[in-house]
């Protein structure tokens, strides 16, 4: 798994918290999350915001397909997103995937898009990703996702 980031594709999907990628007991990567991110990796770069000390072995199904960026606990996620934007992504091509209000706030602060994992991994792949790729995510759909985290 890569720990330094290099842009390869026109789209970027950011998993804002590793907890949303794991099974409820935290012992393995969720099959739904792994399958979804594996499919997304064909059309978008994937970055996972990881806490220090993360057991990256849990993410072996996606070895070589995702980049981990280790975050300091005091660092605002929007700062990390803005650093990724320096790789010349169009903001409407950047999707933050998360389940917390701070994830939605990072999207608002940076002008990027947001998807709530509370809606499910299947919906991300089947509904949200096509909207992202076709430029129809921004607006009403994005606002619906942002409003879920209030």
For strands 94-98 and 67-71, give the pairing: unpaired
Output the pTM of the full model.
0.93
Q: Report if residue 2 sits inside a domain.
A: no
| pLDDT greater than 50 at residue 129 | yes
Q: In what order do the strands lie in the sheet with 94-98?
A: 67-71, 45-51, 12-15, 94-98, 113-116
Torsion of CA 54, 74, 45, 42, to 10 degrees: 40
Phi and psi, residue 6, nearest 5°: -140, 125
| pLDDT greater than 50 at residue 104 | yes
Q: Report if residue 24 sits inside a domain.
A: yes
Give the dihedral sign, CA 28/23/12/14.
negative
Q: How confident is the model at residue 2 (pLDDT cuts 50, 70, 90)?
A: very low
> Residue 71: which residues within 8 A CB-CB, separation 6 or more?
49, 50, 51, 52, 77, 80
Q: Report if residue 1 sits inside a domain.
A: no
Q: Report if residue 111 sits inside a domain.
A: yes
Q: Report if residue 70 sits inside a domain.
A: yes
- For 6-34, write each residue's pLDDT tens digit: 899 999 999 998 888 999 998 899 999 99
**Residues 84, 95 contacting (CB under 8 angstroms):** no
We report the CATH number of the domain holding residue 73 as 3.40.50.1000
The total of structural domains in the chain comes to 1
- For 48-91, write each residue's pLDDT tens digit: 998 877 888 888 888 889 998 887 766 789 999 999 999 999 99
Domain span holding position 43: 12-148
Q: How confident is the model at residue 1 (pLDDT cuts 50, 70, 90)?
A: very low
Three-point CA angle 74, 87, 75, nearest 5°: 0
| pLDDT greater than 80 at residue 143 | yes
Higher pLDDT, 64 or 38: 38
Helices 101-110 and 140-148, packing angle to 10 deg: 140
| pLDDT greater than 80 at residue 95 | yes
């Amino acid at each position: 798994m890569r720990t330094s980031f290099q842009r390869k594709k026109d789209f970027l999907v950011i998993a804002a918290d590793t907890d949303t990628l794991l099974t409820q007991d935290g012992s393995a990567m969720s099959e739904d999350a792994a399958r979804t991110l594996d499919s997304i990796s064909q059309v978008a770069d994937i970055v996972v915001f990881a806490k220090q000390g993360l057991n990256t072995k849990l993410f072996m199904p996606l070895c070589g397909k995702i980049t981990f960026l280790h975050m300091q606990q005091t660092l605002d996620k929007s700062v990390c997103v803005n650093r990724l934007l320096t790789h010349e992504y169009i903001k409407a091509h950047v999707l933050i995937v998360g389940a917390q209000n701070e994830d939605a706030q990072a999207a608002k602060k940076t002008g990027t898009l947001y998807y709530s994992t509370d809606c499910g991994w299947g919906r991300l792949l089947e509904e949200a990703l096509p909207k992202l790729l076709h430029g129809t995510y921004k607006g009403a759909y994005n606002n619906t996702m942002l409003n879920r985290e209030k």
